[in-house]
Chain A
């Protein structure tokens, strides 16, 4: 007769498959009726499973050791190779930083722009020239005052029927007196006189008067007109870059 099925050894024999068919059947019947027996069997079954897994881990560890020993030594992958994604990421970070710096500089320059600055940047002082006058001997008071820098005298003089030269000088005097608004009228008249030898001077200073008076649309139109006329004496004064700055002022 076999030992009592309650004995611990029987549990182990059951787990190890060493019971006869009849003993096994009886044992399983007992398990169904006896919760503590069932519990004990499950505990030991888990322990056996653990041992088997441990055996696998030990065997894998042995193969692992041999395999790693047979691999050629390589330096630390992290130091040696930089994943492509990291290169792209760092590259983009650098590019973004450069963009920010450029934007910052341009932003600073953008906010530094003003009509007065652009006016001063471009303004060419007009030198009264006797040569262009039809009458070499006549020097009007306007010319005399302008040469002496007495611009206030010019603007205060109530003179009608100005000559084209006097119109130009009047416009220049207003500009010198920082009165761009008043400078526009005489310069407009001059710019509209197609046959006047001072027309191109009038156009140039009119463009600057518009700029200083913040009439940006009119300033840009006239500047582009002058830039596009290679024979205009002020053609090189209004570059693309300069006109772009005036446009920026307009957008602002």
Chain B
């Protein structure tokens, strides 16, 4: 039987990500097309295989979030964008670890500036990392209800059914409490929280 090979254009990829349609298939496609090249860069520049995996995952999250916030302008191809983002994130990571950069890596940083979008994504790694950690530390119940509503975009009725709440009002109240709990946790790092807030308006 003839095997079909997925080929998605840049427009299809960004469209799927924006509408949150066929997310698994689209993300898997991005992995298949770009993981080997991007991971090789990290491993050829003082990184381990684990480093390469972690950075690529971070690149994927940053890229998808950018697309979903309608901030990916598409000035360059997705391939070019991901390559630049991967490279800059890894170099930023090396700096963060206080590792002496190879001469070539230091040169790359000093080279012509990357786009503003990439620079911001790299600079805000710490703020985003903090945010993810804070959500992770919420209880399972809170995480689930917030993700079902804000990420999976389920309706109140669907959440009532899947989480066995009494009614929609109960879900609403619980959702608010969980969001407030998250907000209070975020205020533990006011500088990072302020940075996240300013990102929403950029």
- Asked if A133 is at the interface (CB within 8 A of a chain B CB), the reply is no
Shortest CB distance B3–A (Å): 15
Across the interface, B65 reaches (CB within 8 A) one of A9, A56, A77, namely A56
Looking at chain A's contact residues, the main secondary structure is: helix
Kindly state the interface size class of chain B when it binds its partner: 35 or more
- Asked if B114 is at the interface (CB within 8 A of a chain A CB), the reply is no
Shortest CB distance B163–A (Å): 16
- Which residues of chain B come closer than 8 Å to A57, judged between CB atoms? 57, 61, 132
- Which residues of chain B come closer than 8 Å to A51, judged between CB atoms? 135, 146-147, 150-151, 179, 182
A56 contacts B200, CB within 8 Å?
no
- From B4-12, B28-36, B72-80, B86-94, give the one contacting chain A: B28-36
A64 to B146, CA, bound (A): 23
- Which residues of chain B come closer than 8 Å to A50, judged between CB atoms? 131-132, 134-135, 182, 186, 196
A43 to B134, CA, bound (A): 14
- Asked if B120 is at the interface (CB within 8 A of a chain A CB), the reply is no
- Asked if B140 is at the interface (CB within 8 A of a chain A CB), the reply is no
A56 contacts B68, CB within 8 Å?
yes
B131 contacts A12, CB within 8 Å?
no
A54 contacts B53, CB within 8 Å?
no
B179 contacts A67, CB within 8 Å?
no
- Asked if A49 is at the interface (CB within 8 A of a chain B CB), the reply is yes
- Which residues of chain B come closer than 8 Å to A53, judged between CB atoms? 61, 65, 128, 131-132
Shortest CB distance A122–B (Å): 52
Shortest CB distance B148–A (Å): 9
Do A49 and B60 contact each other (CB < 8 Å), given the known contacts A68-B53, A76-B49?
no
- Which residues of chain B come closer than 8 Å to A47, judged between CB atoms? 179, 182-183, 186
A1 to B136, CA, bound (A): 38
- Which residues of chain B come closer than 8 Å to A67, judged between CB atoms? 28, 31-32, 35
Shortest CB distance A227–B (Å): 51
- Asked if B152 is at the interface (CB within 8 A of a chain A CB), the reply is yes
A55 contacts B151, CB within 8 Å?
yes
- Which residues of chain B come closer than 8 Å to A76, judged between CB atoms? 48-49
- Which residues of chain B come closer than 8 Å to A59, judged between CB atoms? 23-24, 27
- Which residues of chain B come closer than 8 Å to A58, judged between CB atoms? 147
Do A77 and B43 contact each other (CB < 8 Å), given the known contacts A52-B151, A56-B61?
yes
A42 contacts B49, CB within 8 Å?
no
Among B15-67, those with CB < 8 Å from A are 23-24, 27-28, 31-32, 35, 43-44, 48-49, 53, 56-57, 60-61, 64-65
B147 contacts A12, CB within 8 Å?
no
A76 to B47, CA, bound (A): 11
A12 to B32, CA, bound (A): 39
Among A53-95, those with CB < 8 Å from B are 53-64, 66-68, 76-78, 83
Shortest CB distance B53–A (Å): 7
- Asked if A48 is at the interface (CB within 8 A of a chain B CB), the reply is yes
A59 to B200, CA, bound (A): 22
A44 contacts B183, CB within 8 Å?
yes
- Which residues of chain B come closer than 8 Å to A60, judged between CB atoms? 27, 57, 60-61, 64
Across the interface, B197 reaches (CB within 8 A) one of A46, A62, A64, namely A46
Do A63 and B27 contact each other (CB < 8 Å), given the known contacts A48-B179, A50-B182, A78-B43?
yes
- Asked if A8 is at the interface (CB within 8 A of a chain B CB), the reply is yes
Do A54 and B65 contact each other (CB < 8 Å), given the known contacts A46-B186, A48-B179, A64-B53?
no
B200 contacts A45, CB within 8 Å?
yes
A67 to B183, CA, bound (A): 34
A66 to B57, CA, bound (A): 13
State the 5 A-B residue pairs at the shortest beta-carbon distance, nearest first: A55-B151, A54-B135, A50-B131, A63-B27, A51-B150
Contacts from B to A (Cβ < 8 Å): 23-24, 27-28, 31-32, 35, 43-44, 48-49, 53, 56-57, 60-61, 64-65, 68, 128, 131-132, 134-136, 143, 146-147, 150-152, 172-173, 175-176, 179-180, 182-183, 186-187, 193, 196-197, 199-200
A-B contact pairs, 15 of them (CB 8 A): A8-B176, A8-B180, A9-B173, A49-B200, A50-B186, A51-B135, A55-B150, A55-B152, A59-B23, A60-B57, A64-B31, A67-B28, A76-B49, A78-B43, A83-B44
